[in-house]
Chains A and B, each alone.
Chain A
């Protein structure tokens, strides 16, 4: 693929990603209006995670990077997830 073709291909991907992000934002707003109880926050976090992943993969070019960089980012996210998990674990069973 020459540079022009690569660039136009990327532009199409960027626009598709942007549309997905808008759609997911609309979904977040819709879900916020539904009374999901304690699952409301979980749903919002899941949608936000998908949106963040799209941004990382396409806008920030992670999809085209080396395995090392992907592993670094995943390791970071996993650590933060464990930290948040342990905190919520305490809050969840404290009372």
Chain B
């Protein structure tokens, strides 16, 4: 895996063997631990998604019963959201690259960093146990909406406790990153010399710190309500189910920005390197991350337009939702402007990035369809929503995640993957993705409700197309992981800076030494030194 010189893989720590990983406080090892665990869970959730699509290839029962289908879509959502995409880029790649990008030896609190991974794994294990104990896998959907989540006999209590533990992990990561950026920047690394990925992690860190505790408390209240029938959310006991929705979305909408902001940071890193141009509007991109993080706190009500919220609240939340489109638009225009007249080298990281911009733009613009009150009433709770959030979260975050994996792969492992295979995987993913999810926009517009096990015969042709898309998509995933995993062990040796990047992580060896740099780097200019 590693080059012959001393690097973090072959530097002896305090422990040997497996313990040199699971007890390591090295941010790079912790990043890789996260990545390994996350992608393992990701593959499980992909399998569940594939089975769901197979079930939906024809009306009525195909390969599973309705209760199993309910459990499958719930577990698919819980794993994808809480175990893959929320920790996603920050906990995996952020851990590995934040200290490298700002010229630090490690994060500010290495032990808390390790503890966050243990909390993550504990949460994951608790969720796993919840599937096979008590009343079996939860069937509530990943949102755990009351009053159904209070009434169902499935093992909601344990699953929710697992998510609570994951929240602790996420908060710890946020605290670590914010503190690291404030305290551990290399000499000369002023705020406006920081790479935009680090800026994005900073904004994300604040969202993690401020929003995640709200989820933790809400889920604890849900557990208490289930155990002791307190009457917080149960209307039959004087509780308010809308209060649960408020509290849940106060976290879960900002969580969308925990997912997407680091992805946007990745895109801002990759475009200058492969277009050989400095980023267009550096400060606007940095500030737009902060703006998205801030305004993102105030838009959660748009998930509740048809839940019985007051009319004035609906208008206020709709207005605020439109506001958040502005900084998102700023980013997209700046990325495209950065490529304009660049010397574009369409290597696989940029190919994934361009796919991201295309898919995220569709996801973003359809978000405005959801955010407008009149159209929301028509599409709320339909496949249109499923299509929208897969375009933003998968087409957006996951494609950027894949772009980042290909971009930083040579730095992480000191080896290079097969470029042609990476591009093939990207094309499969892109085609499969659109064939899978675009029909859902039409299905939703025509009235197909989300989460339904069965459907009317007139929806079948689009459902079949969507299922075929899932096969193409999975083929892309298989090719991509085959290429990357094979290359970890057998890829050609990569140089220290194969892409000609100008941020600090490319100035050290590949893989980096245990303390990241031979000498503390001194920063004298901005991060993107191209024409």
Contacts and interface: CB of A to CB of B under 8 A. Distances in A.
Interface string B298-312: 100100000011101
B297 A79 contact: yes
A83 B309 contact: no
B297 A93 contact: no
Nearest to B247: A87
Interface in A51-95: 68, 76, 79-80, 82-83, 86-87, 89-91, 93-94
A29 B494 CA distance: 69
Contacts of B209: 76
B316 interface: yes
Contact of B210 (A68, A76, A89, A91): A76
A68 B191 CA distance: 14
A26 B327 CA distance: 48
A72 to B, nearest CB: 8
Contact of A87 (B182, B210, B250, B312): B250
B313 interface: yes
Interface in A18-72: 68
B310 A79 contact: no
A68 B316 CA distance: 32
Given A76-B210, A87-B250, A94 B316 contact: no
B310 A83 contact: no
A77 to B, nearest CB: 10
Query: In terms of DSSP, what is the predominant structure of the interface of chain B?
Result: helix
Contact of B313 (A76, A80, A89): A89
Nearest to A87: B246
Interface residues of A, number: 13
A71 to B, nearest CB: 12
Contact of B309 (A76, A80, A90): A90
Contact of B250 (A76, A83, A89, A94): A83
Contacts of B310: 90, 93-94
Contact of A93 (B242, B243, B250, B312): B312
Contacts of A80: 210
B308 A86 contact: no
B240 to A, nearest CB: 8
A28 to B, nearest CB: 22
B165 to A, nearest CB: 23
Give the most central of A68, A87, A89, A90: most B CB within 10 Å: A90
A51 B242 CA distance: 30
A82 B210 contact: no
Contacts of A94: 242, 308-310, 313
Contacts of B297: 79, 82-83
A83 B243 CA distance: 13
Contacts of B298: 82-83, 86
Contacts of B214: 83
Interface in B27-68: none
B313 A93 contact: yes
Contact of A90 (B182, B247, B313): B313
Contacts of B250: 83, 87
A79 B214 CA distance: 12
A86 B302 CA distance: 13
B244 to A, nearest CB: 11
Contacts of A91: 240, 242-243
Interface in B237-262: 240, 242-243, 246-247, 250
A87 B214 CA distance: 13
Contacts of B301: 86, 90
A80 B440 CA distance: 36
A90 B250 CA distance: 13
Nearest to B182: A68
Interface string B108-144: 0000000000000000000000000000000000000
Given A68-B182, A87-B247, 11 more contacts: A76-B209, A82-B297, A83-B214, A83-B250, A86-B313, A87-B243, A90-B246, A90-B301, A90-B309, A90-B313, A94-B242
9 contacts: A79-B210, A79-B297, A82-B298, A83-B297, A86-B298, A87-B247, A87-B250, A89-B312, A94-B308
Interface of B: 182, 209-210, 214, 240, 242-243, 246-247, 250, 294, 297-298, 301, 308-310, 312-313, 316
